[in-house]
Structure 1
Amino acid sequence: MQPATGNATYKGAVLVNPGGPGGSGTQMVAEIGTNLTELVGEGYDVIGFDPRGTGATLPLAQCFETESELQTFAQRTPVLVNASDDSIPYSKAQDDAVAQLCQRKLGGNGSENANGTVEEWGGGRFMDTASVATDMLRIIEKLGQDKLHYFGVSYGTILGQYFASLYPEKVGRFVIDAVCDAEYYPWNSALVETEGVIDGLYSYCHLAGPAKCPLYESSIAKIKARVWNIMKTKTPLAVPFAAQGPAVVTEALLQQQILNAVYFPISGWPEFANILVAVETNNQSVLAASDFVAAAAPACNSTNEPAPWQRTNSAEYAIACSDYPLADDPAAFDAYLREMTKESPIAAPGWVGSYLACMKWRIKAKKRYTGPFAGNTSSPIFVLSNVLDPVCPLTHARRVHARFPGAGLLVQNATGHVATLTPSACTVAAVQAYFANGTLPAAGAVCQPNVLPFVGAVGGD
């Protein structure tokens, strides 16, 4: 918990969720609690909690017995489904193995009948989002609050929609940032803005000029051509003396780095540009020291200690696959892959893995909430979105805004995932005013950022 600051009248506690699914609210507050306190303003405690299956909860959605078992398996997992001809069938087989492992671990004590069927079904059946929404209700009841004050980002906006739909009369100050539409839970329109965010690599680089962007060329088109020429003609590249041991930089690895960078372009694009130039010039000292190359040759911890909690795919699948189970239908997956590839040819190969995993997931939630995701809330919701978000597009925010009468919508003229991660005095002031007195943004309100990728500080508004 981050305690309330200032001399303002105490207004209660704000629960927070960092997304995922699988993220830990307690870890979020431990890492950025002071930032969250500044965002919500004086008079509010900020409380992080761990959704079922995550963080310090028990049972934990961690299906591997030891740290070495987890790391060894992870190193054999393809990152992109187009990495090779057998990536998709290999991923399906791996997901099937994990699904059976998790069924054994989360489905109870693992006892089997004579047919090999797991008879005991335990905590894995109760990790769905609707159950976590009810947990939030119970938390505020224990705190003596009548309403839930909430700040959720990414998947946390889905959790927020569940709560506001199930308990609309319990909604207090309620901000959802980087909104994914709960009615489109397979996220089959999630990537409609991803290519636009990627285009920002080229346009912001050109705007910043050669002094600030090492990839600078005389036109945006030439910057784009240079980027893809490096990726396709300068790889694979050996990095024999990387900090974690010998590594190989591949086009697939660089493509994955793009997917990481689109989430946080302010830091991600400059880091990616430096990596590309190092690959282009075979700058071994830069590559050997980079975290990017270290991730390509992860150290394997050989300990047989129990696997620690971390934000793992097991927790993501335990939650998401409970909320939206999928049939094991190869034709449906092929159609989904085609659809996502149309939205973003670059991002789709790294995005669709969750769909494959849910096709193989075996644990069924005891109960599911399937909608409607709408409601007349006791207090109006504050919906916040960047103008371009790589995985939770503005179109989702607009749909959610329309389904909750009286809600406010603020658009930030920035790119990347989660608006409040891009510095903007305008956005912070709007959120603070809402938490202070319920003031909503005016219709059509837009805030400008104070920092741009490569460019650095700008005026904002």
Structure 2
Amino acid sequence: MPSSEPSRPRTRGRVPSALLALLFGAVVYLNIGLVTDEKNVNTSLAHQSEFNWNKVEPTHDLQWVPCYSDQQCARLLLPLDHDIPDGPTTAIAIRMIPATDKENYRGTRSGKDISRVLGPAYDVLSFDPRGIGYTTPLASCFDSKSQRDIWKTQEGHMLLNFTDASLATYRSRAEALGQRCAVKLGGEWGIGRFAGTAYVARDMLEMTKILGQEQLQYWGFSYGTALGQYFAAMYPENVKRIILDGVIDGHSYRRARYETDIEDVQNVADTFFAFCHAAGADKCVLYESTPAKIRDRFYAILDAVTASPVAIPLAEPPLVVTRKALAEQLFEATYRPIYTFPVVAATYHALETGNATALRALAPSIVSPTACACAEAGPHAAVANEARWAVERLTAPVAAERTAHPLLLLSNRFDPVTPLAQARRTGRGWGRGAVGAGERGHCSTSSPSVCTAKVGVLPEEGATCEVDVLPFVGERDGGTNGFSEEDRELAEA
């Protein structure tokens, strides 16, 4: 962050009204703080295996059943094609944390921590968008998780490089996967035609109405920011409060142009050395007297692994640590540096010292473990041989001169996959949107800040909040010692 004191958004009460509205969306995120990119798919409902979604009867209205101890779940039937209401359907898996303060009820939102930020007067709702998680039919190009894992292993340990055969291999694999997906997901009523972002935005509108709320309150993260922009462009009069967090440029998203998405990855990764040094030897096991020396030590370990990959035979399953595995671990760590940089440091220290016990414990954080999961991935829609893709698309600009309420845009100063520059470009298309920048990582949740959580009104363009926690270092400037009990709860959330 700049050394000068940042301008701080004005606050009011416990939670910003803009945030609250957004969160409904949250609930109905629609509460869609649903991040559906592959890296974050483990946050979807599908990975909450302690509840049997297959036993929830799909209905055309919301029939809630108890789930996950204190929550409510439902499967909502909506048309695959909203223009053919009596045709085939999709069953949207929806999960809600009910409001506890019904007397001051204010709408719907999403997530336990979000619920703590918003307070007890909101329902918090999330759902699996079309094609993923426990929403059916499932858009999967593979018949099981094991089949997908086997496909991934065939890539081997090649890093993409323009100077060797890896580029041709990656391209051939992409073509093979694309052809397979066209067959698996295609056909007149195949899910491939009906899983586009415009369809999901329409689903959000229908869910909002079924919940008895004419306008959307929504907090969208990552891909959810593209979904929020589609919704606002398609239904500007139905916008109540929308927060776009970790902003994707909607125009680039629609054109499938991602060349600027990772421009800040190196900036985030490089802070590893600076924060390790600032934290000291007690908090960073790779500490040296200067950040440059930490960098040299880090790359010396990486080069040693490149020359001689390290086996972890007693990991479950056993694995070999390669340069590619470490590169992927570091990239994933840039999403949430506060939580994951120490794990990266511990990994490199264990490799440097040959600590087999530590490496065995760290193995799941180096390479995602695989397990036998040969059951069917889930029900697919009927498939024909010839793929015909999505029939409903947003052809108008991904923007609107005016929405019923303004949009709040949040992006970190350095985000590895949704750079701040994208948020600034996006804000210009919405007139009244603003950008609130955090520090490093993907979305505001990776840079905890009570200041951000307490935004009361739409801030000035470019307003920023100081973060409360730093990688390795921990709490900054006395931490939460001066916070009220309420603010400490917010900081924890």
With structure 2 as the length reference, what TM-score do the two structures score? 0.71
CA-CA distance at 1:266 after TM superposition: 0.6
Between the aligned partners of 2:178 and 2:388, the Cα distance in structure 1 is 8
Instruction: Give 1:387's aligned residue.
Output: 413
Query: Contact 1:239/1:287 (CA < 8 Å) preserved in 2?
Result: no
- The count of corresponding residues between Structure 1 and Structure 2 is 384
Pick one of 452, 467, 484 that aligns with 1:427.
452
Residue 95 of structure 1: which of 167, 174, 185 is its match?
A: 174
Specify the alignment match of 2:323 in structure 1: 251
Tell me which of 282, 297, 306 is aligned to 1:226. 297
Query: Structure 1: which 5+ runs fail to align?
Result: 109-119, 315-360, 434-438
- Correspondent of 1:378 among 397, 404, 420: 404
1:151 aligned to which of 200, 219, 229:
219
Asked if 1:82 corresponds to 2:98, the answer is no
Q: Does 2:42 align with 1:20?
A: no
Whether 2:192 is the aligned partner of 1:124: answer yes
Cα displacement (A) at 1:370 = 4.1
1:169-184 residue pairs with structure 2 within 5 A? 169-184=237-252
Please give the residue correspondences for 1:347-426 in structure 2 after superposition, counting only pairs within 5 Å: 364-375=389-400, 376-412=402-438, 414-426=439-451
Aligned-partner Cα distance in 2 for 1:49–1:173: 18
How many angstroms apart in 1 are the aligned matches of 2:327 and 2:146? 27
- CA shift, 1:20, in A, is 2.4
Deviations along 1:295-351, one digit per CA (max 9) or x if unpaired, are 27x4441x5421369xxxx9xxxxxxxxxxxxxxxxxxxxxxxxxxxxxxxxxxxxx
Aligned partner of 1:332 in structure 2 is none
Question: 1:151 Cα deviation (Å)?
Answer: 0.5
Look up the match of 2:149: 71
Distance 2:261 2:293 in 1: 28
What is residue 163 of structure 1 aligned with on the other side?
231
User: What SS does structure 2 have at the residue aligned with 1:195?
Assistant: helix
In the alignment, what sits opposite 1:198?
Answer: 269
Contact 2:329 2:367 in 1 (8 A): no
Contact 2:28–2:218 (Cα < 8 Å) also in 1? yes
- The SS at the match of 1:290 is helix
Does the 8 Å contact 2:248/2:422 carry over to 1?
Answer: yes
1:453 aligns with 2:471: yes
Q: Given residue 263 of structure 2, which amino acid in structure 1 is its aligned partner? A: V
**How far apart in 2 are the matches of 1:202 and 1:262?**
13
- In structure 2, the CA distance between the partners of 1:250 and 1:404, relative to structure 1 (3 Å rule), is same
Cα distance in 2, alignment partners of residues 201 and 50 from structure 1? 34
Note the C-alpha offset of 1:26: 4.3
Inter-CA distance 69–456: structure 2 relative to 1 (3 Å threshold): same
Query: Structure 2 matches for 1:168-317, cutoff 5 A?
Result: 168-185=236-253, 186-235=257-306, 236-292=308-364, 295=367, 298-301=369-372, 304-307=374-377
Question: Which residue identity does 2:355 align to in structure 1?
Answer: N
Task: Give, in whole Å, the separation in 1 of the partners of 2:260 and 2:228.
Answer: 19
CA contact (8 A) 2:434 2:462 kept: no
Contact 1:205 1:213 (8 Å CA) reproduced:
yes
Q: Which amino acid aligns with 1:288?
A: R
Q: Conserved in 2, the CA contact under 8 Å of 1:78 and 1:87?
A: no
1:138-183, CA deviations, whole angstroms, 9 ceiling, x for partnerless residues? 1112122121110000010010111111111111111111101111
Q: Give per-residue Cα distances to partners, 1:342-396, cap 9 Å, x unaligned.
A: xxxxxxxxxxxxxxxxxxx976322322441111111011111111111101111
Partner-residue secondary structure (3-state), 2:405 = coil
| Aligned twin of 1:105 | 184
SS where residue 349 of structure 2 aligns?
Answer: helix
Question: Which has a greater percent of helix?
Answer: 1
Counterpart secondary structure, 1:447: coil
Q: Return closer, same or farther for 1:400/1:240 CA change in 2, 3 Å cut-off.
A: closer
Assess if the C-alpha contact under 8 Å between 2:208 and 2:216 holds in 1. Answer: yes
Equivalent position SS for 1:409: strand
Deviations for 1:398-456, whole angstroms, at most 9, x for unmatched residues? 111221122232122x10011123321111111xx3xxxxx212344211111100001
Q: Is the 8 A contact 1:53 1:127 kept in 2?
A: yes
Contact 1:242–1:287 (CA under 8 A) maintained in structure 2: no
* Distance in 1 of aligned mates of 2:365 and 2:332: 14
Aligned mates of 2:152, 2:459 — CA distance in 1? 44
Alpha-carbon distance in 2 for matches of 1:50, 1:299? 23
- Larger mean Cα displacement after TM superposition, 361-370 or 71-80: 361-370
Contact 1:383 1:409 in 2 (8 A): yes
Q: SS at the partner of 1:60?
A: coil
Offset at 1:259? 0.6
